[in-house]
Structure formats: structure tokens, C-alpha cells
Amino acid sequence: MKIMQKKKGVSEVVSVVLIIMITVAAIAVLWTVVIPMIRDNTTSGAVCFKASSALSVVDDQYTCSYQNATGSVSVKVAKASSEANVSYAQVIVYTSDGGSASTILDVRNMAANTEQTTLLNDLKYADTKAVSVAVASIVTTGKTNTTCTVGPKVALVKC
């Protein structure tokens, strides 16, 4: 028993102070790393929530594929609302071989509740058949562009 009495331990006050300091340091690290990450994700989520329904591909005779040497695709995009700050539209064309290609359209000057038909010549689908098309809203917040979820695919018919 005398052996245990000679050893000195850390006093209760020092151990409590150390635990409090470690806890404060852990909270500071979490605050500086995790909170900005959560804030950025919720901001882009809120922005995309409105923007995801702002643009859509119109399923009519103007959304079609030219099955010739140029392989061009005509897409009609509708802008439903001006509430969402949609700056650009990413138009994705899907091919019969499982591939895809996209192009960016500027829709900043497009009024709410209007439609715009665009001929995509630069995608060149002469070798594979373009079978469907979809659109994703791109929202500009400050200097950051956020690409939102891709909308439903629309089947392409022959022009």
C-alpha cells in the first residue's frame, strides 16, 4: 500500500481544465470546417429547388433529331418562372450507344413563360443516333455557377 501513496497523479482541477480545453478546441475545429460546408450545401440546395422546375424540354415537333449527315438536334426549351435566377441551361443529348454530350445555352434574357428553340449543330451525331434530350438549370450566385439536377428525358423524333 505504501507504494501507491508515493505516486502523484494529476489533480482533479487540472484534469477538468484539460478536458474543457480539448472540448473547446474540438468545437472550434468543427465550427471552422463543417459549418461552411453545410452552409454551402444548403444554399445550393435551396437555389436548385426553385430552379429545377424553371426549365424543361418541350415535347413537341420542334424537339427532334435530323437523321442525316449533320446529325443536328433541335431542342425547344421552356422557361416557366422568373423566380429562380437561372442563367444558363445545360442541354444533354443522349445517344443510342449510351453516350451523351452537352452544350450550354444562355437563358438570361429569356422571359418567364416563354419557349426558345435552338438548333444544336456542334454535337455531330452522324455516326450514332440521338435518342433523347434533357435539360439542367445552371444558377449563378455571386461568381459561382451551380448546375442543378437534370430534368426528365424527352424522346427525340425524326425532324
The 10s digit of each residue's pLDDT in 40-78 is 666 556 777 777 778 888 888 778 877 666 678 888 888
Q: Which region among 16-20, 22-26, 33-37, 113-117 has the lowest average model confidence (pLDDT)?
A: 33-37
Query: pLDDT tier at 8 (50, 70, 90 boundaries)?
Result: low
In a domain, 44, yes or no: no
Q: Which residues contact 47 (CB under 8 A, 6 or more apart)?
A: 84, 85, 139, 141, 146, 148
In a domain, 6, yes or no: no
Q: What are phi and psi of 15, to 5 degrees?
A: -65, -40
Query: How many Å apart are CA 16 and CA 14, to the nearest integer?
Result: 5
Asked if the model's pLDDT at residue 99 lies above 60, the reply is: yes
What pLDDT score does 114 carry?
Answer: 87
Calculate the CA dihedral of residues 153, 157, 101, 76 and round it to 10 degrees: -70
Which amino acid type is present at position 52? S
In a domain, 2, yes or no: no
In a domain, 23, yes or no: no
Tens digits of residue pLDDT in 134-149: 999 888 877 878 888 8
pLDDT over 90, % of the chain: 8
In a domain, 116, yes or no: yes
Asked if the model's pLDDT at residue 23 lies above 90, the reply is: yes
In a domain, 39, yes or no: no
With cell 413537341, the residue in question is 60
pLDDT average, residue stretch 15-42: 85
Query: pLDDT tier at 25 (50, 70, 90 boundaries)?
Result: very high
Q: Output the nine-digit C-alpha cell for 109.
A: 434574357
Name the domain count of the chain.
Answer: 1
In a domain, 21, yes or no: no
Single pTM value for the model: 0.66
Residue 126's domain spans which residues?
50-158
In a domain, 76, yes or no: yes
Asked if the model's pLDDT at residue 39 lies above 60, the reply is: yes
Q: Domain holding 131: CATH number?
A: 2.60.40
pLDDT average, residue stretch 108-129: 76
